[in-house]
Structure formats: C-alpha cells, structure tokens
Amino acid sequence: MSTSDNDELFSSRIEDLTSLCYTRQKPVFSQFLSEAKQALAQKVLQSIYFDNYIFFGGSENCERKMLGVFYNEPEQSAFPISAIEFKYRVCDKLTHRDFLGTLMSLGIERDTVGDILVENGRTVVFVKSELKDYIESQIFKIGGAGVKIVPPNLANLPQGRGTEEMSLTVSSLRFDNIVAAVSGLSRDKTAKLILSGETTLNFVVTQNVSCQVKEGDTFTIRGKGKFKLDKVLGETKKGRHKILVIHFR
C-alpha cells in the first residue's frame, strides 16, 4: 500500500523531533499518539537508526502515549503528563464519551488528552501537564452530573474498558481464520471485510487475508473492537489450533 500524505507529514514530524533533541541536547516530546501512530513512529525511528526513545502515557498500560526522544538516558518521569481524578456518584453512570466531550467543549485538542479510564463513580484522565490547572479550574460537571477533583491514585487505576478472554479453535493461524472466529462472520464476509481495509494487524491496515498471526499480535476489526492473540494453546485431535484471544471491550 502507498503511504498517505498524512503519514508522510507525520513521519517528517517524528524526524524533526530527533533533530530538535540533538540541537537542544534535551528531551523532546510528541503529543499523545494512538497505537497506530506509535507503530508508525517506531518504524520511522528504526529507519533513521534512532533508538534513544520511549513511549509513555502516564502509566504502563496506557493505550494512548507520548513519544519521548532523549539526548541522555530516557526517563518516564520527564514526560509532561499529569493525571486528573474525578469522583462522582456511582448512579450517574458517566462514560468515556461524556468526559471527552466535556474536554473538547473547552477547546482542548484530542491529541493533548491521553487515556480516559472510567469506572463507577471514578475516572482518571491523563493530559498534557500544561493543561492540568486549566481543566481543574473549568470542570465542575460532566454530562450534567456534579464531579469533584481529588488527588489521583495512580497505584489503583480504573480498569477502563476491561477485557474478556475468548477460547476458540481455528483451522490455521491465517488472519482471515482468526478474524472470522472472533467476529462470528462467514469466511466470505470476513474476506470482504479485510480486503476493504476494515481491519488492522499490529495497528497497520492489513488487506492480506492469508498472513499469519503470531502470539502477542494485536488486531482490530471495525465495528467489533480490538483483540490480541494471547496464546496458542495447542492442537485438537483433528489438527485444529486452540487459541486464547483477549477482547478489549
């Protein structure tokens, strides 16, 4: 597949970060990046043989992360990321969309906001540090419900969307077989889905129905969500593969 203009522009920006890091002789950070952008950034950095970098989003398991390129030893503590914790009544049932909508209504750009981890009565939002005071001074309600800002408890973060395990059997580890198994679609419909660019493998759009999926690979299916092939558990007597897939709800 050809590289889009947007990807080329993004790649140039990543290269600019490394140049700025060398010029200033201090770390330089991107905005928050989606997992797809992180994968692209990593490819760019590998192509220019730059390896003094890390991704971090405020905690180890964040999906949205900043890229930090470093002149000296990379340190997570250097990232300009702050956590804001909101408390509210459990019965208010606030959602990820409620919090994101309120932040956007303040004129805040999406790429300055990291993960939004929601559970009953409590939400932790990771943001660029420069926005923390502004957000805390402006938000008193989310989705019509009153909220209170408290010191963030980073040792016990909300689980966010959560996960579920799926035990499946497939005839092979081809991409189309695994997508069909987790989605419940027929092989024909699955092939059309993949060929139309509705799926990604390791955060890259994949239109190859026969590529092999390995343990640890992550894939997405539009309309179905994000999945990870966690383990290949062995084979059945008929030679089918038993697999464990994690579904990120």
Q: 141-165 pLDDT, tens per residue? A: 999 999 999 999 999 998 766 788 9
- How many C-beta atoms surround the C-beta of residue 173 within 10 A? 17
CATH of domain 5-78: 3.30.1370.50
Q: 233-246 pLDDT, tens per residue? A: 999 988 899 999 99
Please give the distance of CA 103 from its chain centroid, rounded to a whole number.
19
- Rounded to whole angstroms, how far apart are CA atoms 117 and 208? 34
Q: 110-132 pLDDT, tens per residue? A: 999 999 999 999 999 999 999 99
- How many C-beta atoms surround the C-beta of residue 196 within 10 A? 10
pLDDT at 249: 72
What percent of the chain stands above pLDDT 70?
98
Structure token digits, residue 133: 């005071």
The domain covering 163-248 belongs, at the CATH homologous superfamily level, to RNA-binding S4 domain (3.10.290.10)
Q: 41-72 pLDDT, tens per residue? A: 999 999 999 999 999 999 988 999 999 999 99
- If pLDDT is split at 50, 70 and 90, which confidence band does 4 have? low
12 three-class SS:
helix
The verdict on pTM exceeding 0.85 is: no
Q: Which amino acid is at 185?
A: L
- The residue extents of the domains of the chain are 5-78, 81-150, 163-248
> Which residue is it, tokens 């003094």?
52
- If pLDDT is split at 50, 70 and 90, which confidence band does 40 have? very high
- Rounded to whole angstroms, how far apart are CA atoms 114 and 217? 23
Across residues 187-201, what is the average pLDDT? Answer: 92
The domain covering 81-150 belongs, at the CATH homologous superfamily level, to RRM (RNA recognition motif) domain (3.30.70.330)
